[in-house]
Structure formats: C-alpha cells, structure tokens
Amino acid sequence: MGLDQTVRDISEEISSRISAAAMGRGEWSDVCAGFTRAFPGSFAALLNQNFVRPEVSFAKVDGLEDQYLQSFVTHYSYVNPWRRFWEFASNGAICVSERDDPATKYKKSAFYNEWMRSIGDYDASIGLRLQVNDDYIIYLPVHFSVSLSEVYESRLEAVIANTRRSLTNAIQIASYLRDTSDYAAARSALVGRSNAIAFVVDRAGRLKDANHRAIDAFARARPVLNRQGSVRFLQPEITTWLGKLLHESPPDLTRKRVMNISEERWLISVNQLPVTMFSQLIRGQDQFLVQLTDLGSNGSCYDGDLLAEAYRITPAEIRLCRALSAGLLLNEAASCSGISYENARQKLKSIFRKTGVSNQSDLKLLLNSLA
C-alpha cells in the first residue's frame, strides 16, 4: 500500500470518529485514540481553552497518563511556551514543532523541565489550531519522539490537514446546538417574570433576551438602558458593579443590590443560569438573569391596602413587608426603608403578632396570597 493511500485511510478513519463524536455516537477520546493507533509511540490530545479567563473547559487524551493531563489542565497549560501559537495563530493553522518551533528552545523553561521531562520522550509534535469564538480555542496536538520525526512528520501533517475539515464541521455543529440551547435557556429564564424588569446578559453584559417590562424600560431609558446591545444602568456605579460581578462571577452566582434613583428604590438581583452542555467539546455560554423590582411600587408585590385593612399594618410596616417580599434580607430591608436594623426587628415582630405568623417564610406566603 502506498504512502498516499495510507494517509487517506488514516484520515478517513479519524474523520469518521470525529463525525461520530460530534453526533453523540462516539467519544472524543476515540478521536485521540485514532491518532495514537496510526502513529505508535505517540500521545494525542484535544482541548478547548479560553486564554482570556483563563480556563480549560474540555480536555481528552490518549497515550498519556491521566495525572499528567490533569497537571497540564490545572497549571501547565497556562505556562506552556507554545501557547503563543495556540492563542494567536490563524484559524486552521498547523504547527510542526521541529520545523516551526522546536522544543530545544524551551529546555530552560519550567514547563519543559517540570512537565515535558516527566512525561517521557515526546519532544516533537504537530498540532492543529481552530477558533471557536473570540475567547475559546480548540487545539489538537500529537506528540512523539524526535527520533520518529523523519518517519512521522510528513504523514501526520497530511492526516491532520485532511481531517481539519471534519473537525471544523463538528465545531460548527456543536456551536449551532450551543447557540440554540443558550437561546432556549434565556427564553425559559424569563417565563413568569412579568412583575419585574427582567433580561438576560452574557459575561460581557451584552443583551441576549428581555421581557416586555425590560423592553419598555429600555425605550424610556429608565432605570436601565440598552446602548448598542450592551446594558447600562441609570446609575453608573451599578453598571460598574454588574460588569465586575459578571467578569469575576463565581460558580452559581447569586447577588442582590439596591439602586436608588431620586425617590425610586430598585432591588437588583443577578443569578447565573445553568450552563448548557449540548456538546462536551463546546460548553454553553455563561448567561445571567438580571431582575429589577420596584420597591416603591404599590402594585408590584401585593395589595397594601388589603394588608392594612385586614391586619391593621402601618404604612412603615407595609414598606418593610414590601422590601422583604422582594427578596431582601432584614438588614437590607432596613437600609432600604431608611430605618435601623433594630427598628426593623421590632417592626417585624409587630407584623408577626398582627398577622399570626411566626417566621419570614410564612410571612412571604401570606404576602403572596394577597398579590
């Protein structure tokens, strides 16, 4: 069998594995195994890395012990001297290390001495770089001994070039499924949010979807604005707070803050939506539900007149009830109502006594029944 036919056969086998993994009929580790089977003595990896955050959101390998993959993902991927190629090369670029950027250049680096020397004789490599979006890069490196370069280089480079289209198509399919799933998640998050200004943004604060109240607020430019697809608050301090919060967002982010505009008081709540995982290779985007509840609106939560008539609740106590029903903690409700924490505690005891409830959970149930 000629060299060209061997390259075609290997390329077709790996392309079929890529297609199977993309459609959920196979594993991405099988793609890596296709390379190591065709090129004995090598190891192959497939990774999706965000070089901005930074993070590695996906990693599969064949031919390398798991402990080395984990140490690469958690630490050495961030000090990898070849990251300049992975981060900045053109989409679809292929790097042949011995020709383009040999390992001998980095023998004094911590990456080489601490990681590459520990995994064995794999100084030569050929890798493919593909761009997912502005932040995430998928790369597929195959490592082997320098002693095998003369035998492997031209054939492996040809196989990677031949399978590049299959992997590109798989990324496009996964990206489409991710975008569709992300849109559905944003739509679902807005269901039942008609009592508040509610919208969904991504990590950069770009608007993904909004309910009718939010659209009306954007049109009025109060208390929140939409400027060329980016959300801004009438109070710049809140815009800065949200931007920092989204950028640094810890897992399962949940935050609340009160915004004061003249005589208006708004409760802002931010919750991270579950990340969609239609494809292991490409994770869903981080999306956040932002809600603004008017703490001074008489009709936003419940009938205050009915509460006063039924339980002889005072106006000051009604304001405290409204803040608590909007989701504020007692100390936050006290600050929002312009009273001390101790004063709020006494008013809450009075509300409990008048309504016959014994805790805040039961009070919220009562208030919801008067909505």
> Where exactly does CATH 3.30.450.80 map onto the chain?
3-180
Token representation of residue 95:
């790097």
SS3 at position 302: coil
CB 130 within 8 A of CB 138: yes
What per-residue confidence (pLDDT) applies to 2?
A: 54
d(Cα 319, Cα 337) in Å, to the nearest integer? 7
How many other C-beta atoms lie within 10 A of the C-beta of residue 148? 17
- Strands in 136-144's sheet, in edge-to-edge order, are 55-62, 43-50, 136-144, 124-131, 94-96
Q: 3-180: which CATH topology?
A: Beta-Lactamase (3.30.450)
How many other C-beta atoms lie within 10 A of the C-beta of residue 362? 13
State the amino acid at position 307 in one-letter form: L
What per-residue confidence (pLDDT) applies to 297?
A: 61
Token representation of residue 156:
């492996």
SS3 at position 210: strand
311-317: long-range contacts at Cβ-Cβ below 8 A with a sequence spacing of 24 or more?
Answer: 311/351, 311/354, 311/355, 312/354, 313/351, 313/354, 313/355, 316/347, 317/347, 317/350, 317/351, 317/354
d(Cα 81, Cα 72) in Å, to the nearest integer? 13
| Exposure string over 314-339, b if 16+ CB within 10 A, otherwise e | eeebbbbbbbbbbebebebbbbbbeb
Bridge partners of 131, per DSSP, are: 137
pLDDT, tens digit only, all 371 positions of the chain: 455 889 999 999 999 999 999 888 899 999 999 999 999 999 999 999 988 778 898 999 999 999 999 999 999 999 999 988 998 999 999 999 999 999 999 999 999 999 999 999 999 999 999 998 777 899 999 999 999 999 999 999 999 999 999 999 999 888 888 888 899 999 999 998 888 899 999 989 999 999 999 999 999 999 999 999 999 999 999 999 999 999 887 777 888 888 888 888 888 989 999 886 655 788 788 899 999 988 766 444 456 777 788 888 998 998 888 888 777 788 888 877 788 999 999 999 999 999 999 998 888 888 877 76
Predicted TM-score (pTM) of the model is 0.71
Residue located via tokens 């301090």: 237
What per-residue confidence (pLDDT) applies to 130?
A: 96
Token representation of residue 284:
């869903």
SS3 at position 232: strand
CATH architecture of 191-294: 2-Layer Sandwich (3.30)
What per-residue confidence (pLDDT) applies to 295?
A: 74
Domain 296-371 belongs in CATH node 1.20.1540.10: no
Count helices and strands (H / E) in the chain: 15, 12
What per-residue confidence (pLDDT) applies to 302?
A: 58
> Where exactly does CATH 1.10.10.10 map onto the chain?
296-371
How many other C-beta atoms lie within 10 A of the C-beta of residue 150? 9
Token representation of residue 245:
């919060």
